Amino acid sequence: MKFFSFYLMFLLTATLLSSCATHSKSSWQIKTGDRTTLAFSGKGAAAGMMMDAYMGGAGIAIGIAIDEGIAKDIATDIKKYSPDFNIVSMVESQLSKQSFYVHFFKRNNVSTQVVIEAYGFHTFPSEGDKASAWLKMHFISNGKDVFINYPADFSSPTLAELNDIKTNPKLAYGLLNNAVAEVLLRQKEIFK
More confident residue, 47 or 109: 109
- Residue 76 included in any domain: no
Pair 162, 175: CB distance under 8 Å: no
- Residue 4 included in any domain: no
- Residue 125 included in any domain: yes
pLDDT at 15: 45
pLDDT at 38 over 90: yes
- Residue 34 included in any domain: yes
More confident residue, 151 or 8: 151
Q: Span 46-61, mean pLDDT?
A: 54
CATH code where residue 149 lies: 3.30.160
- Residue 140 included in any domain: yes
pLDDT at 75: 95
- Residue 62 included in any domain: no
- Residue 56 included in any domain: no
According to the per-residue pLDDT averaged within each range, which of 3-12, 41-50, 140-149 is highest?
140-149
- Residue 75 included in any domain: no
Q: Span 94-119, mean pLDDT?
A: 75
Domain count, the chain: 1
pLDDT at 62: 65
pLDDT at 20: 41
High-pLDDT (> 70) share of the chain, %: 64
Query: Which range of residues forms the domain containing residue 123?
Result: 23-40+84-191
